[in-house]
């Protein structure tokens, strides 16, 4: 399978796009053609374990990696007790919905689902090509810790992770900043997540600097992560239909509610649906930084500046400029790179893209609906779910449940993608329930551990100088 840029040009095969991050023209890597899942093909996947399913789904995209090697990578990612649940992704019925448990990994967040595989795959590709990679990423909370825990200690990878000062929970900061591995560099930037993300984008579009320092990306612009996230949409549908009579399975559709920040998680659902997974609707849930909700309701995409990006109690979604939206717009515009490039040129010129002419297709063709959740909604939802079921959910998952309830339809199961364990947001849980989850010994040790982080202003030159001095070469 070959990959192309959303703004035109070919990029090579799967192993190539794992290492490159942004395309040279600023676009994102997408498959030249999307593979298909037939009804019979889905049935054949039913008996597989999660690592085996990952081999089959990712293998549709990673055609340049021998299947035996890929099976070893997926087993390395999801085996050896790395995930607390034996099934890796458990499904739990909660108050008329189903919670898809994506937070059983080492950092207690859904980002582990893709990042554990990406760590295995990067090491494999770098060894094959005798290369090193300096990963420069931005995080609003969970991506950074998942990336660092997947890549820590690797000889051929160094990680430079930018995070917004004061915009993450104490648990999130501790998971990142307590790492003492020499190949992990935490940089706390004065600003919001979008400032961090913009710095990363500017370095990636400077091709001379990028090549001189072997820069790569592991945030959700990396297609390796997108391909790994498609797996759990297929897994969840398979588990929801295990008890359905075989003749009805192929037509049994479910909906997914997805808390959304950078649009990578729900984009993977969009691809799963386009490939043939029986998904009725994808319900996009935002917090008060509801740029994406506005887009899917009006067709106008208006990213906000740093001053207008709110610090909320679901901080991993405090994003106003969603990088992965470009991949969806590419599909929306008929996979036309010239129209996509023109749309992003319009964004640069006017700070807005007007796609209202396509508005009717968002739901009818792509099955995407959306909604917004507030701090008050999060508190009420956490409290209500706990009272009804005894289950405690984190604030981001609460955003998903709140918006899911608004779009639930009779006869169509609603699955909510869990994003993190509530222990990562103890203060908010205490505000909602009057008591916070009791930290275990490991959590207490984590919060008390020494932290290693560099504070830096929103200054591109300072970042360049730091990377130049510390990058693998």
Q: Which residues are catalytic?
A: 111
Tokens of 412: 């169509």
> What is the chain's Cα-based Rg?
21
Closest CA to 121 of 183, 78, 77: 77
Tokens of 45: 């996947």
What single string gives the DSSP state of each residue in 395-407? HHHHHHHHHHHHH
Alpha helices in 241-369 (DSSP H): 246-249, 264-275, 291-298, 325-332, 337-350, 359-364
DSSP type of residue 109:
B
Taking the C-alpha atoms of residue 27 and residue 223, their distance in angstroms, rounded to an integer, is 12
Place of tokens 């551990």: 449
Residue 114 CB contacts under 8 Å (≥ 6 apart), including other chains? 146, 220, 224, 225, 226, 228, 229
DSSP type of residue 412:
B
User: What is the maximum span of the chain, computed from C-alpha positions, in angstroms?
Assistant: 62
Taking the C-alpha atoms of residue 457 and residue 352, their distance in angstroms, rounded to an integer, is 27
Cα dihedral 201, 204, 207, 210 sign:
positive
């Amino acid at each position: 399978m070959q990959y192309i840029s959303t703004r035109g040009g070919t990029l090579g095969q799967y192993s190539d796009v794992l290492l490159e991050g942004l395309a040279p023209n600023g676009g994102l890597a997408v498959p030249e053609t999307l593979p298909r899942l037939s009804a019979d093909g889905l049935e054949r996947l039913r008996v597989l374990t999660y690592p085996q399913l990952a081999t089959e789904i990712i293998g549709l995209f990673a055609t340049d990696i021998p299947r035996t090697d890929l099976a070893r990578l997926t087993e390395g990612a999801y085996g050896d007790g790395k995930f607390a649940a034996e099934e890796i992704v458990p499904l739990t019925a909660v108050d008329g919905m189903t919670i898809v448990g994506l937070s059983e990994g080492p950092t207690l967040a859904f980002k582990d689902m893709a990042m554990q595989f990406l760590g295995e795959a990067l090491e494999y590709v770098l060894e094959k090509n005798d290369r090193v990679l300096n990963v420069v990423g931005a995080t609003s909370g969970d991506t950074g810790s998942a990336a660092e825990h997947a890549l820590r200690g690797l000889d051929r990878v160094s990680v430079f992770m930018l995070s917004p000062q004061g915009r993450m929970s104490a648990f999130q900061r501790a998971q990142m900043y307590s790492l003492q591995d020499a190949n992990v560099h935490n940089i706390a930037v004065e600003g919001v997540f979008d400032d961090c993300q913009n710095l990363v984008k500017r370095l990636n579009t400077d091709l001379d600097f990028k090549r001189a320092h072997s820069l790569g990306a592991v945030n959700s612009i990396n297609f390796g992560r997108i391909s790994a996230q498609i797996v759990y949409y297929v897994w969840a549908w398979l588990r929801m239909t295990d008890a359905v009579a075989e003749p009805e399975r192929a037509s049994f559709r479910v909906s997914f509610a997805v808390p959304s920040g950078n649009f990578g998680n729900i984009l993977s659902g969009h691809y799963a649906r386009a490939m043939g997974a029986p998904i009725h609707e994808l319900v996009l849930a935002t917090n008060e930084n509801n740029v994406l909700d506005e887009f899917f309701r009006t067709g106008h995409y208006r990213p906000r500046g740093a001053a207008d990006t709110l610090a909320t109690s679901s901080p991993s979604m405090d994003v106003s400029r969603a990088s992965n939206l470009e991949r969806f717009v590419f599909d929306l515009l008929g996979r036309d790179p010239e129209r996509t490039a023109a749309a992003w040129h319009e964004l640069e010129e006017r700070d807005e893209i007007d796609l209202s002419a396509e508005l009717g297709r968002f739901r009818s063709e792509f099955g995407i609906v959306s909604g917004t959740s507030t701090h008050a909604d999060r508190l009420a939802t956490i409290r209500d779910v706990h009272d009804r079921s005894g289950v405690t959910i984190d604030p981001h998952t609460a955003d998903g449940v709140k918006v899911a309830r608004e779009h639930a339809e009779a006869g169509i199961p609603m699955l909510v993608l869990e994003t993190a364990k509530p222990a990562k947001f103890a203060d908010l849980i205490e505000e909602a329930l009057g008591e916070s989850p009791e930290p275990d010994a490991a959590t207490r040790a984590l919060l008390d551990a020494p932290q290693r982080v560099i504070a830096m202003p929103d200054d591109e030159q300072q970042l360049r100088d730091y990377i130049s001095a510390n990058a693998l070469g």
